[in-house]
Amino acid sequence: MIFDPITVCNLDLSNRFVRSATHEFMAEEDGRPTLRLGDLYEELAKNEVGLIITGFSYVLPGGQSIIYQQGIYDDRFIEPYMKITEIVHRYRSKIILQIVHGGRQAAVSEEYPVPIAPSKIKDEVSAVVPREMTEHDILEVIEAFTKAAIRAKKAGFDGVQLHCAHVSF
Kindly list the residues in this chain that would bind ligand FMN in the complex (CB under 6 A): 20-23, 55-56, 98, 163
Question: From residue 148, how far is each of 84, 90, 92, 160 by CA, in Å?
Answer: 16, 24, 25, 9
Q: Residue 77 Cβ, how far from ligand FMN at the closest point, in Å?
A: 16
CA 77, chain centre distance (Å)? 12
d(CA 125, CA 65): 12
Nearest-approach distance from CB 67 to ligand FMN, in angstroms: 13
- Longest Cα separation, the chain: 51
Q: What pairs with residue 55 in β-bridges?
A: none
Nearer to ligand FMN, 56 or 157 (CB): 56
Shortest Cβ 23–ligand FMN spacing (Å): 4
Rounded to a whole number of angstroms, the minimum distance from the CB of residue 136 to ligand FMN is 27
Closest CB to ligand FMN among residues 22, 109: 22
Q: How many CA atoms lie within 13 A of 45 on its CB side?
A: 21
Q: Pick the closer one to ligand FMN by CB: 13 or 21.
A: 21
Q: What is the C-alpha separation between 159 and 96, in angstroms, rounded?
A: 5
Which lies closer to ligand FMN via its Cβ, residue 18 or residue 129?
Answer: 18
